[in-house]
Amino acid sequence: MLRGMAEFTDVRRLFETIWRPDPGGDPAPVELLAALAHTGNYVAGAYRDGRLVGASAGFLADPPGTTLHSHVTGTIEPGAGFALKVHQREWALERGLTRITWTFDPLVRRNAYFNLGKLAARATEYLPSFYGPVQDAINRGDETDRLLVEWPLDDPRVADAVHGSPPGCPVPPGTPVILGERVGLPARGRDGSSVLLVAIPDDIEALRRTDPLAARAWRRMFREALGGLLAEGGHVAGIHHRSHYVVERPSSREVR
């Protein structure tokens, strides 16, 4: 766990390297990190050869005594994010907590697989424009839709995942794709099934820079597809081939 101002300053610099925010747009100011750590919340770093390569900050959340909300996590080397999540889980379990929540941009393919596939977290809510406009190199020019996820710490699927055996997510042959991809653009597909696939663009962050209109089209149509399915009671069962969300409508779960 991080405690000193020098360590918090290192975290701020790391996050600035990752997000490259406009002046005044730090994702985790030093003052906030100091306050979180002092009041018993979660502020931790991942190091490799004495160099900070990842950091995470979170705070205790409702319901009281059960939940840690992981507010911000950033890494610059492979494996650091997974190590931080494993540490975060151990920290929470030691304090009698039962779940960790966090948000992520559902259009970022690698994060979707990491959170729902590798960690076996559960998507619980689609949050349109959750943070409002954010001026940094990653989010600039796009809306900040987020997927809220829950990590039930004592779930056997989660325990298997943190030990390197994440659950798969098989889908029936011929499962319809309600939102697909055609020449880099979102394309409406077929509906009419209790299990549906929702495509994730290959690299939304690059698309924001090279084709902002296409990136905005993805945001709008993805919000309509995945956000709409969750609003009507659908459930994200997992990630298929690291490229599609698997969504089950309520009827498909009731018959199991």
In a domain, residue 170? The reply is no
- For residue 108, what is the domain's CATH number? 3.40.630.30
Structural domain includes residue 169: no
CB atoms within 10 A of CB 245: 28
Range of the domain at 126: 5-162
- 237 and 193 both lie in a single domain: yes
Do 108 and 45 share a domain, yes or no?
yes
Mean pLDDT over 104-112 rounds to 98
**Backbone torsions φ then ψ of 14, nearest 5 degrees:** -60, -45
If pLDDT is split at 50, 70 and 90, which confidence band does 256 have?
very low
Q: For residues 193-200, give the mean pLDDT.
A: 96
Taking only the tens place, the pLDDT of each residue in 153-182 is 999 999 999 999 999 999 999 999 999 999
Burial code (b: 16+ CB inside 10 Å, e: under 16) for 214-240 equals bbebbbebbbebbbebbeeebbbbbbb
Domain match, 22 and 109 both: yes
Q: Which two tokens stand for residue 171?
A: 């889908």
Residue 225: inside a domain, yes or no? yes
The answer to whether residues 205 and 154 belong to one domain is no
CA–centroid distance for 164 within its chain: 19
What is the tens place of the pLDDT at every residue in 65-91?
999 999 999 999 999 999 999 999 999
pTM of the predicted model as reported, rounded to 2 decimal places: 0.94
Clarify whether residues 98 and 204 are in a common domain: no
Identify whether 240 is part of a domain.
yes
pLDDT of residue 252: 52
The pLDDT-based confidence of 254 (bands split at 50, 70, 90) is: very low
Query: Same domain, yes or no, for 130 and 203?
Result: no
**136 and 21 inside one domain:** yes
Judge if 145 and 208 occupy the same domain.
no
